[in-house]
Structure 1
Amino acid sequence: MKRYLTSLAVVACSWAGPLAAHPHVFVDLAVTFVADAEGHVVGVEVEWRYDELYSLLILEDMGLDPEADGVLTAQELEQVQGFDLNWIPEFQGDIYVEARGGPLSLTAPEGRGTEVVAGQLISRHYRSLEVPQGEVVLRGYDPTFYTAYDLAGRVQVPEGCNFEITPADLDAAYTLVEEALYKDPPKDDDEYPEVGAAFADRVAVTCRK
């Protein structure tokens, strides 16, 4: 999903390939879980490290880094803070948390800073669980697969908590995409099948007091 209001036009015009060329944006994902003294997961800090091309497009669209050297002045860095937190109403944050009782609601994002490292935009934000839990399962994905998230084991949990990662079955995921596109070819990006969940690693976290 095109997640926020800034920079959509320039990004949408930057790929002229076929719809089947999804994803368009590549993000390295990292998650840090937060627990309370009672051994409940109360929130998660999310880090998004955007690919170099997308980072360049965002900075160009915002009129920043005219030298294109990936180095921002203090003033430019201030301008880029929170650039990806102006979410459209239906955007869920591409972070899905559930417990035994089903999906869990998360609060709106609280910005934790944005920086540029080696030409890549890196942003962080924090979201609380509306109901703390001792055991949770998290997956990070864009349902429409417009954005691809790569977790690659970047998970941190506090003392007293353990986690287990179940990698996505990529062969099955790509088969699902092929079958969905063959069955009902999309006419535009908005009709692309919602296959993103099939590409998401599953992170199971258990905390004890």
Structure 2
Amino acid sequence: MPATAVAHPHVFVDTKLKVVVSATGKFEGIEVHWTYDDFYSLLLFADLGLDLDGDGELTQGELRRLDGFDMQWVAGFEGDSYAYRNGKRIKLGKPQGRGVSVTQGRITTVHFRPARGPAEGVVIQAYDPTFYTAYDLTGPVEVDGPCRATIEPADLDAAYTMVEELLYATPAAEAEDSYPEVGEAFADTVSLSCAG
């Protein structure tokens, strides 16, 4: 059985990031926008009994019921947003919900992860280590403050080659259950620069 027959990822999320930096150059946090794919959004509507008329739009009451559905994080889940400074992980605070919307049948949620320390040299990535969920960084990264963000796209050819090599060494019957943690290889890298 070819390694590529193992179906990963299962959920696709368009991701937008807004980095908040104080006037004095302190890293205050990241606002994260997740727009779920059509199929996953439809599954959520069905699971929660929403959009019963099937028009892809929700009433205000339905939006209130949906708000916060992805903020119930289990122990050990780090939010699939990671920040580093000089190669060391920066602790991001618990998510603070900032709303939910539905456009053309797709759910978008917004949350904020507070942080501390200097913004210069901060590196940010959005990924699921298990690659069950694929986060696609869309659009430029907005920076609220005196810094700028540059994006280095992931080397997708190298990432897929790595996956194939890892799965080739795994018996086909075990491939799904022991899928390697390769999500970071598929992540774009956002770097902050605050000089000048």
Over the residues paired in the alignment, what is the CA RMSD in angstroms? 1.8
C-alpha contact 1:30 1:47 (8 A) present in aligned 2: yes
Indicate how the Cα distance of structure 1 residues 190 and 95 shifts in structure 2: closer, same or farther if over 3 A, else same: farther
The number of residues matched between the two structures is 192
- Does residue 194 (structure 1) correspond to residue 181 (structure 2)? The answer is yes
Q: Which residue of the other structure, out of 10, 17, 21, is the alignment partner of 2:7? A: 21
- Does residue 206 (structure 1) correspond to residue 193 (structure 2)? The answer is yes
CA–CA distance in structure 2, aligned partners of residues 188 and 84 of structure 1: 28
Q: Which amino acid aligns with 2:76?
A: E
Q: Which amino acid aligns with 1:86?
A: Q
CA–CA distance in structure 1, aligned partners of residues 158 and 28 of structure 2: 33
Q: Which residue of the other structure, out of 7, 10, 23, is the alignment partner of 1:37? A: 23
4+ runs deviating over 4 angstroms:
none
1:33-72 paired onto structure 2 within 5 Å: 33-72=19-58
CA–CA distance in structure 2, aligned partners of residues 104 and 208 of structure 1: 20
C-alpha contact 2:23 2:145 (8 A) present in aligned 1: no
C-alpha contact 1:45 1:126 (8 A) present in aligned 2: yes
Q: 1:177 corresponds to which residue? A: 163
> Deviation digits for residues 38-95 of structure 1, max 9, x if unmatched?
1111100000000000000011101111122111111111100001010111111000
- Does residue 147 (structure 1) correspond to residue 133 (structure 2)? The answer is yes
- In percent, how many aligned pairs have the same letter? 49
TM-score (norm 2): 0.92
- Does residue 118 (structure 1) correspond to residue 130 (structure 2)? The answer is no
Indicate how the Cα distance of structure 1 residues 67 and 113 shifts in structure 2: closer, same or farther if over 3 A, else same: same
Deviation larger for 153-162 or 38-47: 153-162
1:54-133 paired onto structure 2 within 5 Å: 54-100=40-86, 102-133=88-119
Q: Which amino acid aligns with 1:61?
A: D
CA–CA distance in structure 2, aligned partners of residues 53 and 126 of structure 1: 25
Q: Which amino acid aligns with 2:42?
A: L
CA–CA distance in structure 2, aligned partners of residues 188 and 90 of structure 1: 23
Superposition deviation, residue 208 in structure 1? 4.9
> Deviation digits for residues 95-115 of structure 1, max 9, x if unmatched?
010001511110000000001
Superposition deviation, residue 191 in structure 1? 1.9
SS of 1:87's partner is: coil
Deviation larger for 181-190 or 62-71: 181-190
Deviation larger for 156-165 or 104-113: 156-165
Q: Which amino acid aligns with 1:99?
A: R
CA–CA distance in structure 2, aligned partners of residues 72 and 109 of structure 1: 24
CA–CA distance in structure 2, aligned partners of residues 182 and 172 of structure 1: 15
